[in-house]
Structure formats: structure tokens, C-alpha cells
Amino acid sequence: MMMNHAQCSTNKKCSCQDNYLAGNNARACKALIGRNCDEDADCYVENSICMDNALGKQCDEMENCSIILNSVCSSNGICICPQNYFAIGNHLCVPTINSDCTSDEECLSADSLYSCKEVTECSDPWHWNCAANGKCVCNVNNLAISNQTILPFLNGYCMKDDQCMAENSLCIDYRCRCKPNHVQAAGNLCVFQNEN
């Protein structure tokens, strides 16, 4: 399993990315103040807390969303992924094919290394397809996490709730949909809808 916020340095040594420092006896890269975190234990500074910085949260300017990679503050005052980007969880926006990027790691591939002649050779036909080039590829509304695991986005096929990638989504009628009192925003986000 890859360590979050770690990288291979130019001198071929594992190191923490900028704005992250080694913690837990060099077994984790911990966030400095103002960087992305999921829980208090992710923070390097003693007695600091992880504030709720996530897609779908309220904002009044771009700076409120700056901790969420590639996100913007929408005209509705919500942190969202911009056009040609989609959400992975609630803390990351990644570019789609033909979108701008700054590194290879930002570009997630829908392609597989597996060759095929028909869809049944691609494991799960709900999420895979055999393309004309003879390679297994993700169906629409799905993302390859590895060469064997695909998770559905909103409107992708599912069998159970924990298959759905979007936070605040459920598997309803075999499709990933937003939970009650939540609406779809920015492609793969489910945000709370206030009923005022």
C-alpha cells in the first residue's frame, strides 16, 4: 500500500511531499497547518485539529477551497470541481482526458493492461467493456482504481452501497445515487440540500 503524501525523490529515496513532514517513526507523512487532512491524527503540529475542508462545503471566495486540490468556489458558494475535472472522494479533483494537468499522477487512466476479445474476459461486465483495440476499459461513470478494481461514480451500476465512490451516495435501484436530502453537484458530488 502506498503511503499518502509520499514521493520518490530525485536521489531515489522515499520522502514526504512539500508541506508534509515524517511522523510516526517515519511511517507516515503528516500535514502541516493549512494542508489536506482527513482526521486529527494526520496533522504534524501537536494539539492541532483537522478542520472540515471538503468538496461540497460552503465557501465565499476561492481561498476557502484552496486546500482541496484543483477545486473552485462556485457561484452558489460551494467548493466544487471545475469543468473537465471530477471528484475522487471529497478532497480531490482530477482532470479528465484532454484536460490540463501538471504531473502524470494527476491523470487517471480508464485503460487496463488486460487484453480481451469479448466483455466476459474483462471480469465484471457491469463496470468493464472490451474496447475495439482489444483492451478492457472502464464503462462510462466508472473509475479504475487498479487493473482489477473499478468503482462506480454517480449513475454508475452498483450492487451495494459501499461500491459507490461519491460520499453521501447510496446504491438505489442498482445505480449510485445521492442520499435523500442531497443533490448531485459538479459531476461526482452529493451535497446537502437545505429545504428552506
> 15-65, pLDDT tens digit by residue?
888 777 887 677 788 877 666 666 767 777 666 656 656 667 778 777 778
Cβ atoms 81, 68 nearer than 8 A: no
Quick one: pLDDT band at residue 113, thresholds 50, 70, 90?
A: low
Buried b (16+ CB within 10 A) or exposed e, 61-76: eeebbebbebbbbeee
Structure-block grid coordinates of residue 152: 462506480
Determine the residue type at 86.
F
Q: Look at the block and give the residue holding cell 479533483.
A: 93
Tell me the C-alpha distance between 130 and 108, whole Å: 19
pTM above 0.85, yes or no: no
